[in-house]
Structure 1
Amino acid sequence: MIGGGIAGLITARELSRSSLRVLVLEARDRLGGRVWTDHRLGRDLEIGGTWLHWVQPHVWAEITRYGLEVTRGPRPEEAYWLAGDEVRKGTLDGFMELIDPGMRRLLADTMRWIPRPDQPLAEPELAEVDACSIQDKLDELHLPVEERQANEAAWVGHFNAPLDEGAFTSGLRWTAATAGSWHLMHEASAVFRLATGTRSLVEAIVADVDAEIRTSTEVRRIEHDAEGAVITTASGEQIHARRVVVTLPHNIIGDLDVSPALCAEKLAASKEKTASKGVKAWIRVRGPIKPFFAYSSASHPLSVVRTEYLGDDDAVLVAFGADAQKISPDDLDAVRAALRVWRDDLEVLEVTGHDWMSDPYSRETWLMHRPHQLTRYLQAQQRPEGVLHFASSDNANLWAGFIDGAIESGLRVARELTAQLTASR
């Protein structure tokens, strides 16, 4: 197992239940991959993947299995958004009413294009719409400036990417997973989280894995043939395996030295990179404050900010921007300036985050495809190559890019491998 994120750990758990000998190799000094709870700013913060929901069947089954508690951040009492350069202040309901007409028009044909979200390529003509970016489709609506900015900022929060680089089909897939309801899609992707952090899910799965797990073990090379594979680590150790499960993200899988080489589609997708290249910042401000959320526009360094934790004398906000090159989550002055787009009354005390784009073991945030990538590459990204199998949230069918998608892909690959290996005994 190459990679100790959620997909790799789920695969290892399922394989070990079939009395198969499993070895997990994780390059980082921790498990979880792009899921990472860390204690900062006086709280346990989700530096990576965070939100989950009962419409995400795979992760909800794990929550039920391990008896994990789900919570949410405080409900916003105030809302801020832009109309041109003018700041508007209102309520959450008022903002939702503002973006509702654009959202409905944009997503009206969701179930036509993706009638079965668990089979995202079922529509034969999907390539037609997969050629478009989310920005292309928003521009076709000719929305008034206030509605346009609000809708764009909301989609930046979802895509974590410049909207002219993100595929329209990525938005359709999320909405299809909630039966065409953009309201439910918004809730499913941004509200509920584990009360004890995603760390608790990782720890629960690890405790259930009967396998050898090594951290700080980077894989440099895989040589494979019909009989098995030889894995070479950064230390020069060589490990022989009958099967190998690769769980590396879309953006870096092409950097792995594999002989014979991976198929052209996997390599092309990795070279193109995903659209998601944004930033997630955590911000501690002096309190007390009323919980709020704010949307600016796709062109601002931070497009979305909201209150996630409230204290007696402070509050912690979470913020997202489309391009990690525009702002660092550790740059206190830059974050202060970005918040002034909406309000200048917040005293910023501390900021933190992680640059996933420069992280050598991810080089992406969560998966959002570029135009054409879904229809050109997904099937090949899921397909085994000899003794190599591929599990990742990035190649899931239903909730790709989410914790749910990582679990789905791990279950799929474990099922395939168990059938193969038990039949060959």
Structure 2
Amino acid sequence: MTEKYDTVVIGAGFAGLTAARELSHAGQRVALIEARDRIGGRTWLAERMGLNLELGGTWVHWTQPFVWAELTRYGIGLAPSPTPQTASWWNGTEAVVGSPDELLELLDHPNQLLTQRSREIFPEPFAPLTSERSADVDEESLAAHIAALPLTDAQRALLTSFWTLNFNGKLGDAAYTQALRWVALTNGDWKVTFEACATYKIAGGTKALADAILADSDVDLLFNTDVTAVCTRDRRGAAVSSADGREFTADDVIVTAPLHSLGRIDFQPPLDTRKQAAVKAGQLGLGTKIWFTIDGERPHFVALGGADWPLNFFQSEYHRDGKTYVIGFGSDAHAISPDDVEAVQATLRRLVPDAVVLETAGHAWVDDELSGETWPMHRTGYLTTSLAHLQQPAGPIHFAGSDIADGWGGFIDGAIESGLTAARAILTNRAPVPA
């Protein structure tokens, strides 16, 4: 059986939800096809350890115009993360205890040195491909720049761990331009960038916004429908096949699969060699996010460990029933399991010696074949050799998602931006342009 639509959108994360809404508002008949049994993509609000916890993407900020517009549209507010009262960090040789302000101050000078060229390289942060200077530095690694800075060993250890956290991956092949793009988006102020990363959550969780976008759409939503192939039939048509034997035809198709799961889809004709090369190279967000509880409702804290630790960053979020709920991040998903209480305990105790971990929870995003990654962070060369090609359609097949956003790539904002761009390209019958 073949079902005919104006547009088929593959993936019901924020890019797919946004694109589907825009197209349905324009009067199109839209199928929104999702392999999972839920919407949200790499965001996922789920009950774990007695609370609704964000297992994936979480934080938003008013410097992110696309998500801020959506929150305003639907009257959804913010839920601030708690202000930490204490901080601890690894200076390269030992644990140090102090205040959050002290930790920020230690990171300030190194980050200012590292990111001082952010607005020079990216004068228009939401149009990175128009930068005349990015090609000069896109092949340079972030690790090399950190190594070359005039810093003490302790400063370098903190800065390396800080950016390992931001990349949620290892820095050996991390693009210097990726760090500069993030900071340019907050007008060159790394502290605001960091605030955008881990301070303000969506009231009601990411599900509240995803549900609001879906409720504002008139689409056919199909869950548990795993797309296996997309075949271009002519310049204005394509067929989408699913694992359960169904076929959908449409004038246009929007594919929002993350970069590391694009290879699961058989494109016919095959994607051009530059897109294939980008998919093969992948990106660096291959770490982990683990929730856990510790015994006692202790004062909220933040902790930054060594870059090579299984978990190198901790932030407490909630108190409930005599327990403190904490998030931990690490750069290598396979260095620690989300259900390994003892491993979490051993890592945390290097910074918080008296903490007793009770239980853990998380989702193995890197091992999830529908994602294969956490948040996308680019390798050296990606910006100038891959991004533009991934943004371009392949005939009637368009691409969207946080992986290929112009602005806040790696964030909900970037996914929404990309979904808007793809929908507008279809409605105006021309190639995508920056949103």
1:311 aligned partner, one-letter code: R
Across the aligned residues of Structure 1 and Structure 2, the Cα RMSD in angstroms comes to: 1.2
Indicate which of 278, 296, 320 corresponds to 1:311: 320
Q: CA offset at residue 297 of structure 1?
A: 1.5
Matched, 1:368 2:363: no
8 Å contact kept, 2:226–2:243: yes
C-alpha deviation, 1:420, in angstroms: 2.4
Map residues 36-185 of structure 1 onto 2, 5 A cutoff: 36-185=44-193
Deviation at 1:312, TM superposition (A): 5.0
Q: Structure 1 residue 223: deviation in Å?
A: 1.0
Deviation >6 Å, runs of 4+: none
Aligned-pair identity (%): 42
Corresponding position of 1:338: 347
Residues 1:245 and 2:249 aligned together: no
Q: Do the aligned partners of 2:228 and 2:264 also contact (CA within 8 Å) in 1?
A: no
Structure 1 equivalent of residue 218 of structure 2: 210
Q: 2:19 aligns with which of 6, 11, 14?
A: 11
Question: 1:400 corresponds to which residue?
Answer: 409
Identify the residue that residue 276 of structure 1 maps to in structure 2.
Answer: 285
Q: Deviations over 1:138-186 (max 9, x none)?
A: 0011421221111111112211011113211111111000000011111
Query: Which of 388, 393, 404 is matched with 2:397 structurally?
Result: 388
SS of the aligned residue for 2:429 comes to: helix
Of 51-60 and 122-131, the range deviating more from structure 2: 122-131
Q: Identify the match of residue 228 of structure 1 among 237, 251, 266.
A: 237
Structure 2: segments with no counterpart, 5+ residues: 1-8, 431-435
Shift of 1:323: 0.7
Cα pair 1:149 1:296 within 8 Å, conserved: no
Unaligned 5+ runs, structure 1: none
Whole-Å Cα distance in 2 between the matches of residues 176 and 199 of structure 1? 29
Counterpart amino acid of 1:268? A
Question: Paired residue for 2:305?
Answer: 296
User: In 1, Cα distance between the equivalents of 2:269 and 2:129?
Assistant: 28
Amino acid at match of 2:285: S
Equivalenced residues, count: 421
CA contact (8 A) 1:229 1:244 kept: yes
Is 1:258–2:267 an aligned residue pair? yes
AA matched with 1:203: D
Q: For residues 166 and 309 of structure 1, what CA distance do their matches in structure 2 show?
A: 32
**Per the alignment, in what secondary structure is the counterpart of residue 406 of structure 1?**
helix
- In the alignment, what sits opposite 2:6? none
Deviations 1:218-263 (A, max 9, x none): 0111110224111111011121111111111111213310101112
Question: What's the secondary structure of 2:394's corresponding residue?
Answer: coil
How far apart in 2 are the matches of 1:241 and 1:321? 41
Give the distance between the partners of 2:394 and 2:272, measured in 1 at CA: 8
Distance in 1 (CA, whole Å) between partners of 2:25 and 2:91 is: 56
Partner-residue secondary structure (3-state), 1:364? coil
CA distance in 2, matches of 1:133, 1:235: 44
The 3-state SS of whatever aligns with 1:251 is: helix
Q: Alpha-carbon deviation of 1:195?
A: 2.2
Output the amino acid matched with 1:235. Answer: D
- Distance in structure 1 (CA, Å) of the matches to 2:285 and 2:340: 21
Give SS of 2:259's match: coil
Report if aligned partners of 2:125, 2:181 keep a CA contact under 8 Å in 1.
yes
- TM-score normalised by L of structure 1: 0.97
Report if aligned partners of 2:83, 2:300 keep a CA contact under 8 Å in 1: yes
Q: Report SS of the residue matched to 2:69.
A: helix
Residue 273 of structure 2 aligns to which amino acid in structure 1?
A
Q: Encode CA deviations 1:27-52: one digit per residue, 9 max, x unaligned.
A: 11111100110011221111010000
